[in-house]
Structure 1
Amino acid sequence: MNPEHLNYFGFCGRVIALALMHKVQVGIAFDRVFFSTLAGRDVCLDDVLDADPFLYMSCKKILEMDADFLDSDGLGLCFVTEIEEFGSKLLVELCPGGKDIALNSQNREEYVKLLINHRFMTSISEQITHFAQGFADILSRPTLQPFFFQSLDLEDLDKMLRGNGDGISVDDWKAHTDYNGYKETDCQISWFWKLVKKMSEEQKRALLVFWTSLKYLPVEGFRGLQSRLYIYKVTDCADRRLPTSHTCFFRLCLPTYQSLSVMDKSLQIITQEHVTSSFGIW
């Protein structure tokens, strides 16, 4: 319905290519069918299980159904599929003359193949083409793009894009953090890591975003980042200030709070979702 929607797919292709180029984790995973299409591979029934479980089960039942029942036109199907377009339902032939070809035990494999091909390739070919073009604008030539995806396993690509799906390790976080103005033995640093360990996973990720602008870590964890993290000491009006950050430099500016409770309240504020998106990030 949006006249610009194809351009959005091109834009998405560029964003994904930039994320791969700069090793930035974006927290998404490619669908196997989409990945196979970009690699120029045929899509088979097993590929569509996650993308469309209902279609998968329907096709599987057709392939396993009693031959006599199919040959008696028990399902009443022919080589057409129904699609919805702007609120109207349309019948589309899966092959030339499809409306006159009845489904039977001899052609059911071809029917399933054509149905999957239409659902995951033909009907969305424009969107896939625009995504592929956007990707190629950044990372590869259009003619070489299938070879790029053929050279990767889907699991490897997902790890590159999604990053570490495990919980954030505070010990790993601490091991890759340096201090400016503070010493590791200072009470403020001890309090800080004590409070971080008590945080929920959502709060830890909110703090990570506030500190670095990164929501997802590389598969290697904090050692996979391009830089170590830093905690800088802030002494001016410490008990009346919230922490701030310089995300480009992975720098957290932590005031010298005089009590654990004051620091706790301050960290609670900056890890609230509606605050972390706008406060102290520049």
Structure 2
Amino acid sequence: LSPRLGVLNNIPFVIPFDVRVEIFRQFIRNDAARSDIDRFDPNQRGVRIRRGHVAEDGFRGLHRLGPQLKRRIQIQFIDQFGQVEAGIDGGGLFKEFLTSLVREAFDTNRGLWSATSDQAIYPNPHSYAQQAEQLEWYTFLGRVLGKAIYDGILVDIKFASFFLSKWLGKQSYLDDLASLDSLDPELAKGLNFVLRAYTGDFEDLALNFTVTDEEFGVSTTTELVPGGAQIPVTRENRLEYVYRVSHYRLSDQIEKQSAAFFSGLSEMVDPRWLRMMNREELRVLVSGTEAPIDVDDLRANTVYGGYHEQDLTIQYFWDALKSFDPQMRKAFLKFVTSCPSPPLLGFAHLSPKFAIRNSGTDEARLPTASTCVNLLKLPAYSTPEQVAAKLRYVCTIEVGFDLS
């Protein structure tokens, strides 16, 4: 561990966050140079991904690569008719694939992830998720998330704070207690009552050092400590009981899933680099900042195709974007880049740069986007009202990917 990294790991708060992000990116650039990941491999075949089967095809084509996922991966999309879509992957198609994969595979409806009351995700605690096949998926998704971080691709995921703490190896008793409320408000309320408010005889509570889970209609009881079924909760041991229950719900139940995820993540990103951040900064590293979108910064880092910045349609576009409220601006950014949050260090660091291309004079057409290259295809509308209305519409309905 170098002295600089030692300082960054142990007292990172003495260095501004944006400086630490730049140091983090430099670590990755150094690693990429050592690994020669940009070297062209003439034998590399494109990974074929069917639209509508992104997660399954991604797992089948990329899981076997292990740490080699750091390298440049060529993607070929297959349309609904089984035909290879036109387009050469210079990196943009892989970004589209990665963001689509994340959207599919981290969806709580797939069974690998659960959500807290504020819709932050963490590994599904059910025993189903601890099966070998599912653990392979967690390892793969750890690599996928690591690949996104490695390549600087922001993804639209919100991880639970207690799960982010595990990335840093710094979860504590206080973290458990503070996090339980978002995971299970009723359980947190009950434990808080036992810990702080109950004044009666603890025998009346009939509690012992066990927890009960129900899966698929079957109840199972787990001892929190050896012989826990025979250990009643008393006034003297209530603090330990509260800790054991919290730790079970937040750590023990997801231990295997988390370990598999972190093994994949660590193959892509050195855990020591992540420890330069606290958990909220990690969230920003993964998903971008919650700061308002700076339209002037975006404008200063925009390129045009078939338009000039002085054109009326472009003037109408920027006026419309400035008139949008913060949520609509985020919706627009998600429409054109696939992520609603701006880059960590500003739009100068968006790669490739945001671009606006003239898509013709048919004013009945809607704007479209190629999120893989951060491109807005904007017809030459003749009035400011048209521009604002069309943009609001496509941002609201979330029109999908367009390759044309």
* TM-score under structure 1 length normalisation: 0.80
By how many angstroms is 1:244 displaced? 4.5
Quote the offset at 1:55 in angstroms. Answer: 2.7
Moved more, 75-84 or 198-207: 198-207
Q: Which residue of 2 aligns with 1:32?
A: 161
Q: Look up the SS of the partner of 2:182 in the other structure.
A: coil
Q: Deviations over 1:179-218 (max 9, x none)?
A: 3443322222222223333445555444434433443222
Query: Could you say if the C-alpha distance between residues 201 and 190 of structure 1 is closer, same or farther in structure 2, counting changes exceeding 3 Å?
Result: same
Q: Does the alignment pair 1:49 with 2:154? A: no
Aligned match for 2:262, one of 132, 145, 152: 132
The residue that corresponds to 2:29 in the other structure is none
SS in 1 for 2:277: coil
**1:115–1:257 CA distance, 2 compared to 1 (3 A):** closer
Could you say which residue in structure 2 is the equivalent of 1:162?
287
- Deviation, 1:154, is 0.7
What CA distance in whole angstroms lies between the structure 2 residues aligned with 1:57 and 1:49? 8
Confirm whether residue 255 of structure 1 aligns to residue 391 of structure 2. no
User: TM-score of the superposition, structure 2-length normalised?
Assistant: 0.58
User: CA separation of 1:222/1:164 partners in 2, compared to 1, >3 Å: closer, same or farther?
Assistant: same
Paired residue for 1:69?
A: 201
For 1:263 and 1:37, the matched residues in 2 are separated by: 46
Match of 2:321 among 193, 196, 202: 196
**Percent identity between the two aligned chains:** 29
Whichever of the two has the greater Rg, that structure is: 1
**Contact between 1:168 and 1:201, CA under 8 Å: does it hold in 2?**
yes
Structure 1 contact 43–117 (Cα < 8 Å) conserved: no
The answer to whether the aligner puts 1:212 opposite 2:337 as a matched pair is yes
Work out the CA distance in 2 between the residues paired with 1:239 and 1:65. Answer: 66
| Letter in structure 2 aligned against 1:75 | L
Shift of 1:262: 4.9
Mapped contact 2:305–2:356 kept (Cα < 8 A): yes
**Aligned: 1:277 with 2:400:** yes
Counterpart AA for 1:57? K
Give 3-state SS (helix, strand or coil) of 2:189's partner: helix
- SS of 1:58's partner is helix
- In 1: Cα distance, 2:294 partner to 2:171 partner: 40
Distance 2:215 2:371 in 1: 45
Q: Give SS of 1:271's match.
A: helix
Write the deviation string for residues 218-262 of structure 1: whole angstroms up to 9, x where unpaired.
Answer: 23442342343232345x554465444444443334333344455
What is the aligned partner in structure 1 of residue 241 from structure 2? 111
Equivalent residue letter for 2:208: C
Number of corresponding residues: 272
Determine which of 59, 79, 90 is the counterpart of 2:191. 59
Uncovered stretches (5+) of structure 2, i.e. residues with no partner: 1-127
Which residue identity is paired with 2:307?
Answer: Y
Give the AA of the match of 2:138: F
- RMSD of the alignment, in Å? 3.0
Question: Do the aligned residues in 2 keep the contact of 1:247 with 1:281 (CA within 8 Å)?
Answer: no
Inter-partner Cα distance in structure 1 for 2:275 and 2:377:
45
Higher relative contact order (CA 8 A, sep 6+): 1
Cα offset, 1:148, TM superposition: 5.2
